[in-house]
Amino acid sequence: MSPLVILLVLLGAVATTPAWAEPPVRIAITPVLVEHYLEVNRELVSYVGEKLGRRTELVQRRSYKEISDLLERGEVDVAFVCGRPYVIDHERFGLELLVAPVVYDGPVYYSYVIVPSDSSATRFEDLRGKRYAFSDPLSNSGHLVPTYMLARMGETPERFFKRYIYTYSHSANVEAVAVKFVDGASVDSYVYDYLATTNPDLTARTKIIVRSPPHGITPVVVRRGVDPALKTRLRAAFLEMSRDARGQEILRQMMLKRFEAVPDSLFDSIRSMLRAVDARFPGAIAERGASGR
Amino acid sequence: MRRLQPIWEWSLGTKLAVTFLLVVTGVAVLVSISVIRRGRSALDEELRERGVNLAQNLARLSIDPVLQDDLWTLYKVVRDIATGGSDHRNVVAYAMVLDPEGRVLAHSDPARFPMSEPLRHDPVSRPAGQSWSIYSAEVGRGEAIHDAAAPIIVDKQTVGVARVGVSTRELEATIGRMTRDVLIVTASLAAVGVVLGYVISRRMTRPLRELGHAVDRIAEGRLDEPAVVHTREKDEIGRLADRFNVMTQRLRDNVREIQETKQYLENLLENANDFIYTLDLGGRITYVNRRFFELGFEKEALIGRPLDALLMRPATGTAPGSASVAEMEVKSGDGQHRTLVVGESHLFDNDGHRIGTLGIAKDVSERKELETRLIQSERLASVGELAGALAHELRNPLGSLVAASKMLGANSPQAASYDRAALLQVIIEEGRRLDGILTDFLAFARPRPPRQQPTSVNALVNEVIESLRLDDVAAGKPIQTDFGDGLATVAVDVDQMKQAVWNVIRNGLEASPAGKVLSVTTTAVDGHVTIDVTDEGAGIPAEQRARLFEPFHTTKPRGTGLGLAIAHRIVTAHGGVIDVSSSSGRGTSVCIKLPRESPA
């Protein structure tokens, strides 16, 4: 089915049929962000649906790769993805930015290197020969940033670490460090700070030894070919969240200040890290990104 | 703390309670040990099975994460196995997945057993097998680990080993709870047993306690109070109580009978006319009957006191059954002197041991007085009789004297024919006869005390015989003497003794028929000197023999009847004895027996 046909169908549906008769707007969220987030995700998707006046459907997948595939195949319309999959999929199949959440001062976040709270490591270099956890192979903060840091040290994860694993979840990374399944891990600062509030016992068993420079935060994207009107209404829905009570409550629960529209250039830092790693170890990143591992 | 009583001093209740306690506790403990042992065995078997199941589960769940090298997922699987189910939270000590080289892929305790390190401190290290296996190891105090291992097999190739260690800690805790429960049940049973034992024993022994109280009452002599034991039970104790009731009734009857008998005997003793007493071996009074109190004695003054203090007691023998009788004076409580005839005998117990003395005394004071009065009146009667006899004796000669005197003084014609000389002779003879009678009477009635001097009996007797040979009465009657040689002298009043001997020999001569020999012998026998005078006359009839020595008793036509009476008085005054033996037709023998030395 071509996008044009879908658009026509969608437009016809919006104009002539009640909301329940239209195909739902499918919104994909990966638990890479925060595990056990299901309830607020549902609420968010429901809220958006209310704003749109349309049925919405929550789609959850474990990895960015899976969501990336869904977006590429047009099986979801909206998705929360990491800045790095956005950068890559924007190039590959025209993924479009919708909005980005504001957690800190702007639509940025950081990559933390955390170690167990009683660890003797104080610098990333101290983790040489240790067990390390990345979150998702396509994650910026959970994989690209540390890989970039290693590349600058002239190292690859295979060489630098004794053993590294992917947990496909930032919160799992915090937990893996807390239980000392690994000696260190990279985590999304938003996830870590969120956990520090909601599950301080867990984060108390870890400590941050490295905080990366700011990078563009995980954006909300729409697949290429989404009806511009829907896109506009979607964006409006997100942007207006901070202006009504239900939206504020959702934001509060997600510990977001608001959503705001962001330029594509917000993710240039990611693009430059990708280039740097690729220049140092050609093919390593692209290959992983393609394989999902 | 009170000293523990020996078992044999325990009450029945305690014994029963303790027996219940021991039996219940013993059975409970044996059952408990068996139950706990079987329980432990079953639980341990179940634990092992659970370990194997968990290991096999883990192996199954580990296939995908191992194949995908998704160690975090593998860790979560391992962790879920180790901590997941609430039913085995405390059971699973650890869970782990190792690679075929024995390196840790995921361990439920990642801090101690880091990923990709060879397993360190493995309590139950073993090679990876092709099927499940289980090993056990002690890891601490009372805790063992059953380590179940299951291979993770993909396409017949072992890609890892899942191992689950199940701890016996929970099992031990369960056993501990079970033991505690069993102990509680046991203790409860024991308590119930004790209470039950106590209650049953109380119930069972209630008649026994009543029996005890009844026996106590009987032992205290309270036989009058009802000693009937009430019980509806017809068991051994019930029957015992019934028999006890019968026995009590019989005992009461017997005691009443004994008391009646005792009362009867006491009445006999108390109301006896005699004085009855008992003494202990020390001579102290243990019992006196009422007669003593009639003498003015107080009971308290007698019981426990020696009888000797009251009276001169007769000597008693020691041979069993010996008895003695004595007469003795006693000064009664009111100060009067009483004469008692006392008979004593020994008291013996049933074994023949002497336990004291039984005395029975009779008050003979009044009889004694009666006797004295009787003697006096007899004496008065004798005097009267004597006076009568004397008057009678005097009347005949006096009559002759008066008649002769009248005839001499008569002026009648017949008077001239009287022989005046003959009449005078009659007067003289009768006068002499009166004088003789009076002389004899005086000698009898008013004897003077003997003036004793040592005298040869033979010489004295000889002088009497010689003087009598001149008397008419001796005519034709030979006197044969046989004087003992060397006779000791006797202390006698010579004149009086001559009179006595003269009277006896003259009597003998008078009794002797003409031509018959009168024999006189003297002998010395046992400190005495005897003078025997034996005639061959007609003898004295038995009925007269008793009156021989009475004054004025005579069988002779012209005797005064005073001869033998005087002889008797003289001999008796000398402390001697005069005795007559005679048999009718064979003559008479009179024996004078004098002490060789005069009485003091």
| DSSP for B485-533, written as a single string | TTPPPEEE-HHHHHHHHHHHHHHHHHHSPTTPPEEEEEEEETTEEEEEE
Work out the angle between the directed axes of helices A268-280 and A83-93 (0-180°, nearest 10): 80
The pLDDT value given to residue B321: 41
Q: Within an 8 Å CB–CB cutoff, is residue A167 touching chain B?
A: yes
The whole-number average pLDDT for the span A113-127 is: 95
Scanning B362-493, the segments in alpha helix (DSSP H) are 365-409, 420-445, 457-469
Containing H/E element for B59? Answer: helix B12-67
Distance CA B197, CA A269 (A): 93
Rounded to two decimals, the ipTM of the complex is 0.80
* Banded model confidence at residue A27, pLDDT cuts 50, 70, 90: very high
Of the candidate ranges A89-98, B313-322, B383-392, the one whose mean pLDDT is the lowest? B313-322
Which residue type, as a one-letter code, is found at position B108? Answer: S
Contact A131 B72 (CB under 8 A): no
What DSSP state is assigned to residue B284? B
Round to whole Å and give the CA distance between B199 and B591: 104
When scoring B64, B83, B115 by the number of chain A Cβ atoms within 10 A, the one with the most, hence best to mutate, is B115
State pLDDT tens for residues A210-265. Answer: 999 999 999 999 998 888 999 999 999 999 999 999 999 999 888 889 999 999 99
Residue B150 in 3-state DSSP? Answer: strand
Q: Check CB contact of B75 with chain A, cutoff 8 Å.
A: yes
> B226-245 pLDDT, tens per residue?
666 677 777 777 788 788 88
B530 neighbors B495 (Cβ within 8 angstroms)? no
Q: How far is CA B462 from CA B465, B474, B579, B593, in A?
A: 5, 15, 21, 17
The mean pLDDT of B449-462, rounded to a whole number, is 85
Task: Name the most confidently modeled range: A82-86, B391-395, B580-584.
Answer: A82-86
Query: Is the Cα dihedral B379, B382, B384, B386 positive or negative?
Result: negative
Return the residue of A nearest to B111 by Cα. A180
Which of the residue ranges A221-225, B6-10, B156-160 would you say has the lowest mean pLDDT? B6-10
What b/e sequence results for B128-159 when a residue is b if at least 16 CB atoms lie within 10 Å of its CB, and e otherwise?
Answer: beeebbbebeebeeeebbbbbbbbbeeeeeeb
Asked if B340 and B275 touch (Cβ cutoff 8 Å), the reply is: yes
pLDDT tens digits, B411-447: 777 777 778 888 888 888 888 888 888 887 777 777 7
CA terminus-to-terminus distance, chain B: 89
Q: Which tokens hold the place of A117?
A: 């709270």
Distance CA B181, CA B550 (A): 127
Indicate the burial class of B252 (C-beta count within 10 angstroms; 0-12, 13-18, 19 or more).
Answer: middle
Would you call A47 exposed, middle or buried from its count of C-beta atoms within 10 A (0-12, 13-18, 19+)?
A: buried
Contact (Cβ atoms closer than 8 angstroms) between residue B107 and residue B113: yes
Q: Which residues pair with B104 in a beta bridge?
A: B98
Q: Which of B69, B70, B115 lies at the smallest CB-CB distance from A131? A: B115
Share of chain A above pLDDT 70, in %: 87
Residue B503: both structure tokens together: 């009277």
| Token pair belonging to B450 | 């003997």
Angle, helices B494-511/B457-469, rounded to nearest 10 degrees: 50
With an 8 Å Cβ cutoff, is B385 touching chain A? no
In the chain, the amino acid numbered B165 is: G
Is residue A226 within 8 A of residue A83, CB to CB? The reply is no
Q: What share of chain B is helix, strand, coil (3-state, %, to 5)?
A: 50, 20, 30
Which chain B residues touch A180 with a CB distance below 8 Å? 110-111, 114
What spatial distance separates the first Cα and last Cα of chain A, rounded to whole Å? Answer: 31
For A76, counting Cβ atoms within 10 Å of its Cβ (0-12 exposed, 13-18 middle, 19+ buried), the class is: buried
**Closest Cα to residue B13, out of B209, B189, B187?**
B209
CB-based contact B70 A166, cutoff 8 Å? yes
Instruction: Report how far residue A90's alpha carbon sits from residue A71's, in angstroms, rounded to the nearest whole number.
Output: 11
* Separation of alpha carbons A119 and A113, rounded Å: 12
Closest alpha carbon within chain B to A181: B110
On whether the pTM is more than 0.80, the answer is no
Tell which of B75, B76, B112 to mutate to test the A interface (max A CBs under 10 Å). Answer: B75
